[in-house]
Amino acid sequence: MSSEDCSIFKNCLFYSANALARTITRIADEEFSITGLPSQYCFLLILVIEKPSVQPKELAEKLSLTPSTVSRFLDKMEEQGYIIRAMDGKYTYITPTQKARKNLDNIRRAWENLYRRYIEVLGKEFADSLTSSIYLSNKKLNEQAK
């Protein structure tokens, strides 16, 4: 099916947002491959490195992911030696390992490469405006859903 075949959906936010998400995820995973991790794991690691001893609930909120998804990511990241989980009573705290910290430069480089890659196609002004619009739209829709 060509892209013109889907023109009936061009005014559908649901279709357009999901199609964009699939495309940008594919591109991000290509760029983040230098880290040895999927892109979503890298964004989670950035948060853990920025705030050691962060709780999974906070990670889920900041990444707009469900707690079960974050838990799955943390399981895999712990298996691979990127994070340590520590329990204190009923609370779990996530801290980065040295392996995670050593990968931070690659993560930042991949993030920069991703940005360069999509601004080459979209142009800086449009890409920045689109990012801002999507961020604000997501925020408003999430607030309304609560």
The tens digit of pLDDT for each residue in 58-83 reads: 999 999 899 999 999 999 999 999 99
Find the domain containing 43 and state its range.
3-145
CATH number, residue 57:
1.10.10.10
Contact (CB, 8 A) for 44 and 82: no
For residue 80, the SS3 value is coil
Mean pLDDT of the chain: 93
- Tokens of residue 104, six digits: 């931070």
The tens digit of pLDDT for each residue in 80-103 reads: 999 999 999 999 999 999 999 999
How many domains would you assign to the chain? 1
